[in-house]
Amino acid sequence: AQPKTLLISDIEPGNRYELVCTTEAGLVRYRMGDVVTCTRFLCRSDDLVPLPIDQEEIPRIPLFSIAYRIGSLLDAFGEKTSEQHLMDALQRTSVQWKEQGIPLDIYDFTSYPKLDVFPPHYVLFLELIEEQNSKQEYKISEKNFQLLQTMVDSEIERQLCQTNFNYNNVRKGSKLGPLVCILVRNGTFSNFLTDVLVTDRVSPTQIKPHRLLKNENHIQYFYANQINTSSS
């Protein structure tokens, strides 16, 4: 069924909405697939946009945060793991690494649900960089890499359970197995965009980060660029 269309004056804080673009006459509507959360309404104490000095009524100006894109959720059993859930988990993991003396950042990531095994699980492809070489060629020392191999899966799994309670509940119910992280070579993501442009003939202005892989050729591309053999 067609969802109800709301004007900006109809929305309420705490709810999520899908953005729709339209013409001035409203004859054509385009569902962009972007879902946002209305966090609150602008108030006079905010310094975000100029407001009238006189104490007149301020219109209801909603403030939004990006939630996710439709079709970009990892959702095997209703856990609805969004890109933001993954990003939050990875950022927390990066902080943990630094506290443990491993100066690494996550350059980029992508994922897909591996459903042809039991139990099914998430697979995350990660490209890492060393923090102090952020503007140079990135190389992970053998020592750092060996440490990461023993802890990356469990740490990101732990953080994801904290950022997405639904995922945590599904994991406790043993419907999903623990996620598997695969480290890929430096330059993998940059080359991936080039490959997408060549093989899929996508305009450079239309390229967006691929956080959820659906194309089997794309998935195999990342497997072919993993740093070492890892079960998945």
- Going by pLDDT thresholds of 50, 70 and 90, the confidence category of residue 58 is low
What's the CA gap between 77 and 60, in Å, rounded? 38
Q: What is the pLDDT of residues 125-169, one digit of tens each?
A: 999 887 655 444 445 666 667 767 778 888 999 999 999 999 999
Closest CA to 170 of 117, 212, 119: 119
E runs forming strands in 70-177: 104-114, 121-130
Q: What is the pLDDT of residues 89-102, one digit of tens each?
A: 998 998 888 888 77
Residue 127: burial class (beta carbons within 10 Å; 0-12, 13-18, 19+): buried
Q: Contact 44/51 with Cβ under 8 angstroms? A: yes
What's the CA gap between 32 and 30, in Å, rounded? 6
